Amino acid sequence: MQAVKYARAESVEEAVSLLQDGGAGARPLAGGTDVIVQARERTRDIDVFVDIKHISEVVAIEHGSDGSLTIGAATPCYEIYGDDSIAENFPILVDSTSLIGGTAIQGRASLGGNLCNSSPAADGIPSLIVLEAQVEIAGPNGRRTVAVEDFCTAPGQNVLDSGEFVVKLHFPAPAESSGARFLRFIPRNEMDIAVANAATQLRLDADGSVAWARVAVGAIAPTPLLVADAAAAIVGQPLSEDTIAAAAAASSAAARPITDMRGSIRQRVHLAGVLTERTIRQAAERAA
């Protein structure tokens, strides 16, 4: 391991100050399942870890009386999928958090860490996008909030400035008759990185037509993508084979993937459509 130092922050202010003092080589430490590997393998230049897990709001799950949800950025996956209210009201977060790594990774890895690692193939981010999550960031100039679809800017890159870190994620209450689903394609059943992934949230009207929808696709572009055209293809009418096919085609059209060891451009473009179709169908089942 490169000579990395460790500092434990007891408050948001202390974390910001430690990150500022540490400069470009300082990284917040949540579950460490990405950054410790990156420090060891020197794929990121890290010389100070600022442990943010001893700040209560960074590891808390809060359910608002209006049905909204706030998850501390460093809350580990297993606490998220083990939360009965999340399982009932935000099952798409269970889809994502129970697929990130294996059990031992889920004991540490967090949605905030998954977001800040900013991998194009992150299994948490498409779900955050379709849930319209807002990212609360603390920094030297106080706090600011960013829509999650605007957070990642390139592979491994995001909007965080020096001294800033993600404190928590805010989720609006799910509307009546809405449902959301995340799916990932990998060649085995578990413990792999997405060849492609996708999420859909939609709301059904009383007459069965789709009143509102969001579709996001991952591992098919430099960042996870919100695909507005895919949602537009299904909104305003009942779901049909035609509208679902149009949404799938929109996701494939939005995809601009690379070929790598996990999959080819052609396979990923195809998968963007297939996963869009399946998440729409399964989100609709959950909405019904």
Partner 1 sequence: MATEHIVVNCTINGENTTFLANERDSLLEALRDRIGLTGAKEGCNNGNCGACCVNMDGRIVNSCLVMAAECEGTEIGTVEGLASGDQLSPLQNAFLEQAALQCGICTPGFLVAAEALLEQNPDPSEHEIRYWLAGNLCRCTGYDKIVKAVQQAAGQSVV
Among 87, 104, 147, 154, binds partner 1 (CB under 8 A): 104
Which is closer to partner 1, CB of 108 or CB of 170?
108
Q: Is 156 in the site for partner 1 (CB under 8 A)?
A: no
Residue whose structure tokens are 């001294």? 163
Is residue 100 within 8 Å of 115, Cβ to Cβ? no
Q: In what order do the strands lie in the sheet with 5-8?
A: 5-8, 48-51, 26-29
| Least distance to partner 1, CB of residue 41, Å | 7
| Least distance to partner 1, CB of residue 23, Å | 12
Q: Which two tokens stand for residue 273?
A: 């459509």
CA pair distance 114, 98, nearest whole angstrom = 13
Among 56, 85, 103, 157, binds partner 1 (CB under 8 A): 103
Q: What are phi and psi of 167, to 5 degrees?
A: -90, -50
Q: Is 24 in the site for partner 1 (CB under 8 A)?
A: no
Its sign, for the CA torsion 217, 285, 190, 42, is positive
CA pair distance 195, 274, nearest whole angstrom = 12
Among 10, 21, 37, 264, binds partner 1 (CB under 8 A): 37
Q: Which stretch binds partner 1 (CB under 8 A): 1-9, 135-143, 228-236, 263-271?
A: 1-9
* Contact positions with partner 1 (CB under 8 A) in 55-84: 76, 78
Q: Is 3 in the site for partner 1 (CB under 8 A)?
A: yes
| Least distance to partner 1, CB of residue 40, Å | 7
The counts of H helices and E strands in the chain are 11, 14
Among 24, 176, 187, 189, binds partner 1 (CB under 8 A): 189
User: Could you write out the DSSP letters of every residue in 85-98?
Assistant: HHHHH-HHHHHHHT
Q: Is 191 in the site for partner 1 (CB under 8 A)?
A: yes
Which is closer to partner 1, CB of 76 or CB of 139?
76
CA pair distance 143, 253, nearest whole angstrom = 37
Q: Is 87 in the site for partner 1 (CB under 8 A)?
A: no
Q: What are phi and psi of 135, to 5 degrees?
A: -100, 115
| Least distance to partner 1, CB of residue 232, Å | 37
Which is closer to partner 1, CB of 35 or CB of 269?
35
Its sign, for the CA torsion 16, 46, 50, 191, is positive
Residue whose structure tokens are 């779901």? 239
Taking Cα atoms as reference points, which of 116, 109, 133, 125 lies closest to residue 19?
116
Q: Is 102 in the site for partner 1 (CB under 8 A)?
A: yes
| Least distance to partner 1, CB of residue 47, Å | 5
Residues that bind partner 1 (CB under 8 A): 1-6, 8, 29, 31-33, 36-37, 40-41, 47, 49, 51, 53, 76, 78, 101-105, 107-108, 189-191
